[in-house]
Structure 1
Amino acid sequence: MGRVVLVTGVAGTFAARVSRTLVELGAGSGIDRVVGIDTRLPEGDLGGVKFVRADIRTPVIGKVMAVEDVDLVVHLDVNPSDLAPGGGAKERNVIGTMQLLAACQRSSHVAKLVLGSSTAVYGTSPRDPALFTESTSPQGGVRSGFPKDAVEVESYVRGFARRRPDVIITTLRLAQILHPDIETPLRNYLANPLLPSALGFDPRIQFTHLDDALEVFTEAVVADRPGTFNVAGDGVMLLSQLARRLGKPVIPLPPPGFGALAGRAIRTMGGQMSPDLHRVLMYGRAVDTSALRDIFGFDPKHTTEETFEEFRATQRPGMLAGIGGSR
C-alpha cells in the first residue's frame, strides 16, 4: 500500500502546485493519496487532492492525521507576515508548527517529514559571508519577523528529530521563488512601478525557479533524502541589474530608516513591501548549494539569471501591481 501524504498550507499557490504534482505522480511513485489542509479554501482546482479545512494551530491536526492514516508530512505553512491572509503569521508559523510536530510525535504512522524552510534563517547583515552554507550561523537580522519565525520553526523540527530518530526529516531552505503566479516578497517588490533602494547599497539577490522547487520537493517525498539543504539557482544578480532589465527607475533612499521610508513610498503607489524585505534590499543574501548537488543529488536546472529572465518575459506594465492574498 502506498503512502498518504499530508500537505499543510495547501491554499497557498506553491503548496497547491506541490500537492497536484504529487497526485500526478500516482501510485507508481509509492503515493496512494494526497491530503491538503488549510484554514481557507484553495482558489484553484486541486485535482485529486483531498482538501480538509482545518487549522494546524489547534489539536484538530492530530485528528486529521489519524483519520487519514497520514505517514508523510510536507509542511509548507510557514510564510512571511504579508503572505498570511487574515494576519496571525507568527501564530501560524510557530504555534502551527508546534501543534503539527506534537501530532507527528503521537502518531505511530508518520515516517517522514519534509519542511519547506527559507534562506531567511541566515538573516541579513553587513558581516555576512559571500555564500552561506548549511552550517553557517547567522550574523544578524534574525531577531524579529519572518527570519526569527523560520529559525524557531527549524529549531522545533530539530527537537522533534531528537525525540523521533525513526522519522526521516528533510529541511529545504529555499531562496525566494520568482514566478508571476507564486506570491513572494521579492516578486511583489519587483511588481512596483518604482523600486526603492538604499543609497550606497547594491545587494546580491538569488532566486529559485518554480520547476526546480517542485522537483526538489517531489524528490524529497518519493526518495529518502535526510538532512538540511539550500535550494537556489546558481549565480547572483544585483538589484541594479534587476531594475535596469525591468526598465524600472530606482528611488534611492537614505539607509537610516530605509525600511519605513521604502514601505511608505510603495504604499503611495498602491503596491506592497514585506516588512522583512528591507534588510535583503540593503545587504542581500546568497547561499551555497553544493550539498544539494553532492548529498541530496539534485542539480538545479535554472540559474538565478535564467529564472529572472523568464519572469521578465512575462511582465507587462502593471501586471502584478496590487496583487495580494495568495500565499
Structure 2
Amino acid sequence: MADVVLVTGVSRYLGGQFARALTNDPSVSRVIGVDVIPPTHDIGRAEFVRADIRNPMIGKIIAQSDVDTVVHMNVIATPTNAGGRTSQKEINVIGTMQLLAACQKAPSIRRLVVKSSAAVYGSSPRDPAMFTEDMGPKSLPRTGFGKDSVEVEGYVRGFSRRRPDVELSVLRFANIIGPGIRTSLTDYFALPVIPVPFGYDARLQFVHETDALGTLLAATTGPSTGITNIAGDGVITVSQAAAIAGRAVIPLPMPAAGLFGAVLKRAGLADFSSDQVQFLAYGRGLDTTRMREVLGYEPEFTTRAAFEDYVRGIGSVLPGSAALGSAVSGVAGTAANAIGHVWAAGRND
C-alpha cells in the first residue's frame, strides 16, 4: 500500500490532475510533486518540490522524504512541450535513467509506477489486430516519442532485475484524449482540414483522461500489475473520427503528409512527426484483458465515447488556424501533383 508517493511531471496537465486525485485518497499520507517549473494548476494537498529528475538531487529528495512509491509521469510525448526534440529526449531518456538510479539506491522504495505508451508497439501493415502485453513490435519505432518509450521501458526492465523487491507497474496507454488534455493528436483533430494518408483509414483506440487517471490511481494504490495495456473498448477509424469532429479531410500521399506536417508545425497548429504519420496510416489495437483481470479496472468511456467527449470540448478550431488556409491550398496542390505521379507510375508499371 502506497504511503509516501513521489510524482514526477506535476506541472503538466495529467501529472497535476493525478497528484491532486492522489491527495484525496485517505490511504496515502503524503504526496510530493516534482517538476522543473511550478504548476499553474491546482495539485491539491500535494507538496511541490522544484527539481529536475536529470539531476542527482532527486535521490536526496527520495531519501530525505522516505518515499516508498514513485509514479513516473514525466515522459513527454510532444517536443514543443519540452522545448524541442533534443530536450524531449533528454527529459525522457536521461531523466528516466537518473530517476531509476535514485530509486535503485533508496531502500525505502517499494513500488514503481511508470506511465508508458502503446507507441512502443510501433505501427506497421504487419501488426496483429490487437497487441497483447507479451507481443513485440513488428516494426520497431525508429524516431521520436515511440523510440524514447522503448528506451525508457528498457531501463525500467534493467531496474527491475537489479531491484526485484520493488513492485512494478508499467501502463502502456493508448492515445489519451478528453476535454482538458492537449496533445499532438488532439491538435490534429481540431484542425479545420485534416490531412489523412492517401489510401489508408487506420483503426484508432483512445483512453479518456478520466480513465487514464483511474488506472494510474489503481496501479499506485492497488495490486502490482507489471506491463498493462490501457485503452477504451472498441475502435474508430480516422475517417469516422474526422466525421465525428465535423472536419473535412484532405488525402495526401505519405511523402506529402510529411510536408503538410512541417507546415502545421511552423504555423504552431500541431506538432506532427513521421512516426505519427505511420500511426495514422496503419493504426494500432490493444488487448485490454489484463487491465480488467489484473489491474481490476473497468473503463468508464469507450473509444468512441472518449472521442465524442473530446469533440464537445474543442470548440470550432484551434486558435490561429486561419493561417492554415493558404498553406492547405499550397500543400493540396503539391499532394494532387504527387498523387498524379503515383497514378501515372502505376499505369507505366
- TM-score, normalized by length of structure 1? 0.93
1:157 aligns with 2:141: no
Which residue in 1 is equivalent to 2:42? 45
Contact 1:79 1:93 in 2 (8 A): yes
Corresponding residue number in structure 2 for 1:215: 214
Counterpart CA distance in 1 for 2:57 and 2:266 is: 41
Give the letter aligned to residue 225 of structure 1: S
Partner of 2:14: 14
1:264 equivalent to 2:262? Answer: yes
Shift of 1:188: 1.4
Structure 1 residues 35-79: Cα deviation after superposition (integer angstroms, max 9, x where no partner):
011111212122211111111011011011112211100000011
Q: Is the 8 A contact 1:170 1:228 kept in 2?
A: yes
- Name the amino acid aligned to 1:14: L
1:246 aligns with 2:245: yes
Q: CA RMSD in A?
A: 1.7
User: d(CA) in 1 for partners of 2:177 and 2:2?
Assistant: 33
Query: Amino acid of the residue matched to residue 260 of structure 1?
Result: G
Q: How far apart are the structure 2 equivalents of 1:97 and 1:259?
A: 32
Q: Which residue of 1 aligns with 2:67?
A: 70
Q: Secondary structure of the equivalent of 1:177?
A: strand
CA distance in 2, matches of 1:241, 1:253: 17
The number of residues matched between the two structures is 318
Using the alignment, how far apart are the partners of 1:83 and 1:4 within structure 2?
32
Residue identity opposite 2:24 in structure 1: E
Deviation sequence 1:178-230 (CA, Å, 0-9, x none): 11311222111111111111100101111001111111111111122231100
Deviation at 1:176, TM superposition (A): 1.2
Q: Partners of 2:89 and 2:44 in 1: how far apart?
A: 30
Q: Distance in 2 between matches of 1:34 and 1:24?
A: 10
Task: For residue 248 of structure 1, report the CA deviation from its aligned partner.
Answer: 0.9
Residue 313 of structure 1 and its aligned partner are, at CA, apart by 2.0
CA apart distance, 1:321: 6.1
CA contact (8 A) 1:171 1:227 kept: yes
Task: Give the SS at the match of 2:168.
Answer: strand
Q: 1:160 to 1:109 in 2, by over 3 A?
A: same
Partner of 2:125: 126
Match for residue 227 of structure 1? 226
Whether the aligned pair in 2 keeps the contact of 1:191 and 1:321 (CA below 8 Å) is: no
Q: Structure 1 79/267 Cα, relative in aligned 2: closer, same or farther at 3 Å?
A: closer
Aligned letter for 1:42? Answer: P
| Structure 2: runs of 5 or more not aligned | 322-349
Runs of 4+ in structure 1 displaced over 6 angstroms?
none
Equivalent residue, structure 1, for 2:324:
none
Which stretch of the first structure deviates more once superposed, 10-19 or 37-46? 37-46
Distance in 1 (alpha carbons) for counterparts of 2:191 and 2:262: 13
Q: Is the 8 A contact 1:258 1:278 kept in 2?
A: no
**Aligned-pair identity (%):** 46
Per-residue CA deviation, residues 229-281 of structure 1 (Å, 9 max, x unaligned), is 000001100000111121111111112x1442231342476511332311111
Name the SS for the 2:229 alignment partner: strand
**1:308 and 2:307 correspond:** yes
Choose 292-301 or 207-216, whichever is displaced more: 292-301
Residues 93 and 17 from structure 1, CA distance in 2 versus in 1: closer, same or farther, beyond 3 angstroms? same
Match of 2:325 in 1: none
Q: Match for 1:93: what amino acid?
A: N
Mean alpha-carbon deviation: is it higher for 47-56 or for 82-91? 82-91
* Conserved 8 A contact 1:198-1:282: yes
Structure 2 length-normalised TM? 0.87
Distance 1:321 1:14 in 2: 25
8 Å CA contact 1:124–1:283 kept in 2: the answer is yes
Does residue 1:273 correspond to 2:282, yes or no? no
Q: Deviations over 1:282-311 (max 9, x none)?
A: 111111101111222212121101111111
More off after superposition, 304-313 vs 93-102: 304-313
Larger Rg: 2
Which stretch has the larger CA shift, 264-273 or 8-17? 264-273
Provide the secondary structure at the position in 2 that maps to 1:225: coil
Measured in 2, the distance between the counterparts of 1:105 and 1:156 equals 12
